[in-house]
Amino acid sequence: MRILITNDDGIRAPGMEALVNVASKFGEVKIVAPDRERSACGHSMTMRDPLRATPYPWPGIEAIEVNGVPVDCVNVGLTVAWPDGCDLILSGINNGPNLGFDITYSGTVAGAMEGTINGIRSISLSMALFVSGAPIHYETGAAWLEENWEMLVTAPQGRLSFLNVNIPSIAYPELRGHRITQMGQRVYQDRVEARSDPWGRIYYWQGGVVVMEPNQPGTDVQAVDEGFVSITPVSLDWTNHELMKQLETEMRSREK
């Protein structure tokens, strides 16, 4: 199995090492990843600047660092590392959750989106850590992935779809299993904070505190909160098919 691995935390991130170590047991891995952290870049791509692909020393594995974002890395990877295509694209393991609306900001998820657009089975993986400064249990993510590899890579693929996986950042024996989930809602409060610099000028810092809707049964948010790995099938078809039907009916009723 030919595997391309990227992430948005950069090629040096510990989550990359954890993911590469597991994937190497199941196929030939090539790494193409950003040369620095590019978290929250979403599904952006670099078009106005040249992309440089530089070999990165990784024992036994072809690894390339790119001065771009995950989308760039997937596309450069499919040009340079796997010019004849590959069988699987993995993005992660991200340092932090990608739940609910966060997936629209996520560079990790964007890596899997780009793989999907290229017609390749893709999976994004993130450690769902909620207390800043707490240890990130990448070893839990790695152990779970190894245990469930076969299920993930042979699962029905669906149309224009990929799997977004979030693993609770807890010790492996504490994991309660995994759930297939739908996208929940993760809303931030006090998103923009006004601060002042040493010269008294106001600047703004975007972050915010997550306000968890407590009761979201069946969602990614609730699954990880209860200690389950969340597996959300995400579709790149953003059409709201239900609303489409309603609009058609509505418009037809207004026709003369």
Compute the least distance from the CB of residue 94 to Mn ion, in Å. 4
Compute the least distance from the CB of residue 230 to Mn ion, in Å. 17
* 102 is a site residue for Mn ion (CB under 5 A): no
> Please, what's the b/e burial string for 199-211 (b: 16 or more CB within 10 A of its CB; e: otherwise)?
eeeeeeeeeeeee
Compute the least distance from the CB of residue 142 to Mn ion, in Å. 17
Asked if the bond preceding 93 is cis, omega within 30° of 0, the reply is yes
Query: For residues 180 and 205, which CB has a smaller minimum distance to Mn ion in the complex?
Result: 205
* 39 is a site residue for Mn ion (CB under 5 A): yes
Give the residue, chosen from 8, 65, 114, 220, that forms a contact with Mn ion under the rule CB under 5 A. 8
Of all helices (H) and strands (E), which one includes residue 153? helix 138-154
* 94 is a site residue for Mn ion (CB under 5 A): yes
DSSP string, 166-235: EEESS-GGG---EEE-B---EEEES-EEEEE-TTS-EEEEE--EEEE-S--TTBHHHHHHTTPEEEEEEE
Query: For residues 9 and 35, which CB has a smaller minimum distance to Mn ion in the complex?
Result: 9
* 65 is a site residue for Mn ion (CB under 5 A): no
Q: Of all residues in this chain, which one has the CB nearest to Mn ion in the complex?
A: 39
Query: For residues 94 and 216, which CB has a smaller minimum distance to Mn ion in the complex?
Result: 94
Query: For residues 82 and 92, which CB has a smaller minimum distance to Mn ion in the complex?
Result: 92
Which residues would be at the binding site for Mn ion (CB under 5 A)? 8-9, 39, 94
